[in-house]
Chains A and B, each alone.
Chain A
Amino acid sequence: MFYPVNKSPSDWQQYTLVLPAVSVGNVGQLAVDLLISTLELKKTGFIYHESILPLVGNDPFVNTVPTSCTLVTSCEVYEDRDKKLVVIQQRAPLIKGKKSFFVSWLAAWIKEQKFKQVVIVTSSYSHERLDTQLSGSQFRYLASRQAELVEGDKFEKLKWQKLEKRDGLAATAPSENDDTNVGATVYIPGGGIAKALYKECYSDVAMIVMLTFCSEGDNAQDAINIMNHLNEWLHLVEPKVSKLKQSVSIPWKLPVSWKLMFGSPVDRTLFH
């Protein structure tokens, strides 16, 4: 269920929704964290659903003083009215056995809100790559039929590479125009709910799946790469041009919660 912070209804028809899929290396979640932190998005509601494992913590985006607490829960919705952007952050995995229940709820909610377009940020196991995927950019995208109608050849102009189809997976020969075969040619191992949601929304939502091939580890850079691509397309953050090197970089603001990613420091006396 979606619980708005303020009871006023929101009209998101002209908005872009960005949401992560809990996937290998948590790339989607890290990427969305960057977006919320950099744009300083405002929390607009909660998704309190029985399929998501519970989690609470203190505000992950600002350093809080010991006497204050801004509670965050496992799934929350953020918004930027100027940029017409809605962002979902899911901080905990889904319960085993309730994945499809959540996907159908989320798809119905997305359709009900009538977003202009929906972006899923996810990742895929790098050890499942084809030989042709081993070198070059590790970023891939998928666009639903609606998204292609809306965006036209924008992604080709940006030189984004489409995720390669895996025809061998289909029981019957897939055809380009057959919606029922969407799931048969799309292969995103370790990509969480991305494929299921894409399949559910393929025919009536302008949906773009952005993904990167990666393995578990420090996946912060994977998240930055994927967000650089998103920014290239949606121009959400102003790029910074360095005077000396003439290079362009996006000033992503890393959230406070990214510190101590590998745990507390170890007692130094151990090494004496």
Chain B
Amino acid sequence: MATFFGEVLQVTSRAVDEDDDDEYDEEIISPCEMRWSVQTKTEIENGQKLTCSILIVAVGPAASGFASSYILHDNFDRVGVLFSGMNERDVNTFSQKSITDKTCYIYRSQINKQLFVCQCNSIVLPEQAHPWVCELFHQLNVENCEVIVLNTAVTSTFRSEIPASELSTPFVKALWTSSFKGRPPFTSLEQPNVVSGLASQILSYCEVQHVRALLCMCYTESMMVDIPTLKSFKPVLEFTPLKGLIKEKSKC
């Protein structure tokens, strides 16, 4: 496109790509893979899905940090691992515990066998969210389940009549599915804000499958994981299905 001054500019569009009209399509994403622990595998092989009454999915470093600090005690077993977006050089096994590893582990409470926590430390691309969610729910019976998704975003992406500089951060907004009953611990996310990525895929799946689900979206200014951000999720623990189930770690 030529401008008023005659220079030719590359035209970009927010909606379509330059090469959008390419006739050929190719798959660019590596597939997702779920691996269960030996004990859980035998349970699944008996033809039964794992009955799940509460599933907490922590997406991103801050939510994962919250799960580690407040939810995952010693009495949780690591029962599964979900791989996605792995390079050829990436290794992922059950034994990897380093925080730099691309891990996405599924934990199960020893006390309440129907309580699962999925701690997603690796970045799941939005393009990969659909197969990821299929894999996650494939072996879980979520018919009577309460799904709680924790996620974070930066405040600059939050749209409001109030300028971003005047918002007191961090703050948490929630979205929930139509079958969700009860009073969420946070106010709902106002228009025109939207949530994209993995968290939205989980919620979309729950909406079409009539599963009760709540998404808690923390808006924070900090690029790094900080204590106020972690603490902002705390009202979730007081929320009805979780109340009393999860005891706060004494050192937190």
Q: Which of B1-60 contact A (CB under 8 A)?
A: 1, 11-17, 20-21, 25-29
Is the Cβ of B200 less than 8 Å from the Cβ of A69? no
Known: A53-B127, A63-B191, A127-B11. A97 touches B163 (CB 8 A): no
Is the Cβ of B191 less than 8 Å from the Cβ of A56? no
Is A272 close to B, CB under 8 A?
no
Is the Cβ of A66 less than 8 Å from the Cβ of B187? yes
Known: A59-B191, A63-B191, A267-B163. A93 touches B15 (CB 8 A): yes
A91 to chain B, nearest CB (A): 8
Is the Cβ of A69 less than 8 Å from the Cβ of B25? no
Is A147 close to B, CB under 8 A?
no
Q: Which of B155-211 contact A (CB under 8 A)?
A: 158-166, 174-178, 183-184, 187-201, 203-205, 207-208
Is the Cβ of A60 less than 8 Å from the Cβ of B192? yes
Known: A23-B15, A125-B11, A264-B160. A71 touches B207 (CB 8 A): yes
Chain A positions within 8 Å of B16 at CB level = 22-24, 93, 190-192
Known: A192-B16, A216-B14. A56 touches B175 (CB 8 A): yes
Is B129 close to A, CB under 8 A?
yes
Chain A positions within 8 Å of B20 at CB level = 99, 190, 192
Is B131 close to A, CB under 8 A?
yes
Selecting from A105-113, A159-167, A171-179, A254-262, the interface stretch reads: A254-262
Is the Cβ of A54 less than 8 Å from the Cβ of B208? no
Residue of A at shortest CB range from B24? A100
Instruction: Choose from A66, A189, A268 the contact partner of B188 (Cβ within 8 Å).
Output: A66
**In the complex, A106 Cα to B103 Cα: how many Å?**
36
Instruction: Choose from B187, B190, B207 the contact partner of A73 (Cβ within 8 Å).
Output: B207
Residue of B at shortest CB range from A190? B16
Instruction: Choose from B26, B161, B203 the contact partner of A260 (Cβ within 8 Å).
Output: B161
B106 to chain A, nearest CB (A): 20
Residue of A at shortest CB range from B196? A55
Is the Cβ of A259 less than 8 Å from the Cβ of B192? yes
Is the Cβ of B188 less than 8 Å from the Cβ of A64? yes
A–B Cβ pairs within 8 angstroms, 9 of them: A48-B204, A60-B192, A71-B178, A97-B28, A97-B29, A127-B11, A190-B20, A216-B14, A264-B160
Q: 3 closest A-B pairs (Cβ-Cβ)?
A: A54-B201, A66-B187, A57-B194
